[in-house]
Amino acid sequence: QVKELVLDNCRSDDGKIVGLSSDFENLEFLSMININLLSVSNLPKLNKLRKLELSDNRISGGLEVLAERTPNLTHLNLSGNKIKDINTLEPLKKLPNLHSLDLFNCEVTMLINYRESVFTLLPQLTYLDGFDADDQEAPDSDPEADGDGLEDEYENGEEDDDDEEDDLDEEVIDDEEDEDDDLEGEEEEDGVDDEEEDEEEDGEDDEEDEADDDLPRGEKRKRNLEDEGEEDPEEEEDDEDD
């Protein structure tokens, strides 16, 4: 059930593919970058293969094997190989679905009219080295398939969560400030009430003192004795005479 297989940097045995067999009949993507591959002669029959990565190897020819064993190939990357002549690419004409071919860092790219010659030889091609015949760049892969869309959505979700937390924090701080203001207001009111009560008590005491000052001296003394619960000595003498 394997659909994708990556063997990059796994050195081949004497320039041949070891372990790759027709058991991988469901393969759609196969990558064998930099495995010191000399040819594709040992490639098994892979009817469902769509994309084949063979860059940075030592392949110089024998591409007719691809038409026989990967008939439905759409993408082929041969960058960094030993391909020198346009005629080496002629077997690729038998791959009717091939619409993207990469030959970066191959000697063939140094030939005069290289691009025009390849597009003429392989009319089914849409893109050569990432550009079409009109030098229009190939579109990027689907961002959702690469997971970029999900990543952006996740980041946005995090930002939204952070904004919500900031709003909550601001609300809590505002509530605490309002409570502090209320407490300060109550303390100020209590202080004012206490001061008013003290002033009222002081005022009553002053009025009593003023009233005592207006009385004759004897009456004042008599009043003071009554307040203290003692009887006037003069009254006691009168009682004894009686």
Fold of 2-126: 3.80.10
pLDDT in tens, 146-177: 444 444 444 455 445 555 555 655 555 566 55
Q: How many residues in the chain?
A: 242
Q: In the prediction, which pLDDT does 19 show?
A: 82
Q: In the prediction, which pLDDT does 140 show?
A: 74
**Beta partners for residue 77, in sequence order:** 53, 102
pTM over 0.75, yes/no: no
Q: In the prediction, which pLDDT does 166 show?
A: 58
Residue 119 C-alpha from the chain's centroid: 43
**99 closest CA partner among 78, 69, 70, 130:** 130
Coil vs helix vs strand at 70: coil
**88 closest CA partner among 101, 71, 75:** 101
Contact 4, 26 (CB under 8 A): no
Say which residue, 239 or 113, is predicted with more confidence: 113
Domain positions in the chain: 2-126
Question: pLDDT tier at 16 (50, 70, 90 boundaries)?
Answer: confident
**Across 47-65, average pLDDT:** 96
Least confident interval from 61-70, 98-107, 173-182, 213-222: 213-222
Q: Looking at the predicted structure, is the pLDDT value of residue 198 above 90?
A: no
Cα separation, 207 vs 43, in Å, equals 120
Contact 220, 208 (CB under 8 A): no
Residue 156 C-alpha from the chain's centroid: 7
**Across 122-138, average pLDDT:** 95
Residue 228 C-alpha from the chain's centroid: 86
Tokens of 112: 């005069």
